[in-house]
Amino acid sequence: MKLRIATRTSDLALWQARYVQQQLLLQDPNLTVELVPLKTQGDKILAVSLAKIGGKGLFIKELENALLAQQADLAVHSLKDMPVKLAAEFELMSIGPREDPRDCLISYSHKTLAQLAPGAIIGTSSLRRQLQVQRLRPDCKIDFLRGNVLTRLKKLQAGQYDAIILATAGVKRLALEAHISEYLAVDTFVPAVGQGTLAVQWLTQRQDLSALLAPLVQYKTEICQQAERAMNLALGGSCQVPVAGYAKLSQGQLTLVGRVGDPKTGLLLEAILSAPAAQARELGQAVAKQLIAQGAQSILAQYQDA
């Protein structure tokens, strides 16, 4: 059987696609698995914040088109880049163990966020990260930063920023963790929904792929993602709005923290609930309900309409 995997062309995206390729071959050495690298609009348009040009869906459209045109059988994504609402033509599944979900600070002049000098310039284009930095270091300046991991590191090395904030998972997957100055704890700096998790997408009609991919799913990862994405779906979250969510499974009990905030005002809403793992989706919906009761909808509507 021959499988073609659609992937973005960045070093990190290719690493992720090759990881899935290797896992499939370990499961069945008789498979032939090829990569189909594609350039997406999200990769081409780098001078503007994703929140202003359509969100992270710009990273997946070309890959989805390749599936629809039968130019590829699978597409590999970072789950945090996936919209919470999928078109009916597609299936989505988390793959393998979750990598470190934390954000990290990288600075060549200071070791921690707390040690940055007043007025320090921190690079990020994420509204979620911007909000949480403002809560911890309101005296620092947030400056726009996009591009792949290596591009962002080069901009930091060139002195355009005093520090940048990245997803730890991507830094580790590219074996660049020596650059990390500080790991930002999930209880104070809540990650993006799905951060650190890989996802595979395919056409719903390809039920043969559902059976083939099922052994690659890790229960713990999948349960946590069900809770996080259910919360995000109930909130209508996307790249355009500052939503954070992180679920942790321990001894059959799932705990989910959700945050919604407004970088313009500094307002931060938070809800934390626990439930049995079997109620993952219900837990996500309950956390979203609490956030909405605190006034999340007015914040979300403001950014969704921006």
Name beta bridge partners: 192: none
Task: Give ∠ CA 67-68-73 in degrees, rounded to 5.
Answer: 25
Residues with active-site annotation: 81
Q: Which of 244, 36, 210 is nearest to 135 (CA)?
A: 244
